[in-house]
Amino acid sequence: MSVTRRSDAAGFTLLEILIALTVLAIALTATVRGLGAAIDTTAALRDRALARWVAEDLLAGLELRQEWPALDVKEGDAEMAGHPFHWRQETGPTPVAKMRRVELNVMLPGTDVAIVHLTGFVEQTGPQVVLPPGAPTGAQAGTQPGAPTGTQTGTQPGVPAGTQPGTQPGSPTGPVR
């Protein structure tokens, strides 16, 4: 009985299969890492977008309430789309007396690193009134925010104080000839 060896045998050797499996494992590992990085990036972008909305919401709230912010630092917590955030508002002066610079930093809870920094400017629309703590403000006191508090009688809108229609500024109140 003779055993013949075929040199043109079809199929793969065990060594070829092990090498192919090693290459496949390396490729799958790289693919899984790439997918993980993409998921992390998507989550970070979602957090940044939501934090930006928190900052814009806080700044818009100041403008809508016509609130004249004090020169101080405030902190608080907010929630946007079911995700919690911590914010810090720093208010500072500007060269223009009726403007304040408001810097908002929004962070994830438990961290001190801001993921969003927004700077805005708030204009004083009404007279600046400093009330003692606990005093009623705005609508509570029966006034409207931004409404003028005092008017001069006997003048018309757009006419400088101390002059009347038909007179020249700086002249006596007599008629112009």
Residue with tokens 């630092």: 73
Closest residue by Cα to residue 106 from 150, 144, 141, 57: 57
In the chain, count H helices and then E strands: 1, 4
pLDDT for position 36: 87
Strands (E) located in the chain: 73-80, 83-93, 99-107, 114-123
Global pTM value: 0.56
CA-CA distance, 139 to 68, in Å (whole number)? 15
> Hey, which CATH number is domain 14-126, 3.40.50.1820, 3.30.1300.30, 3.30.750.24, 3.40.50.300?
3.30.1300.30
Domain map of the chain by residue range?
Answer: 14-126
Kindly give the confidence (pLDDT) of every residue in the chain, 177 residues in length, as a single tens digit, with 9 standing for 90 and above: 566 555 566 888 999 999 999 999 999 999 999 888 888 899 999 999 999 999 999 999 999 998 889 999 999 999 999 999 999 999 999 999 999 999 999 999 999 999 999 999 999 886 655 556 665 544 344 444 443 343 333 444 444 444 444 444 444 444 444
Q: Tokens 């438990």, residue?
A: 110
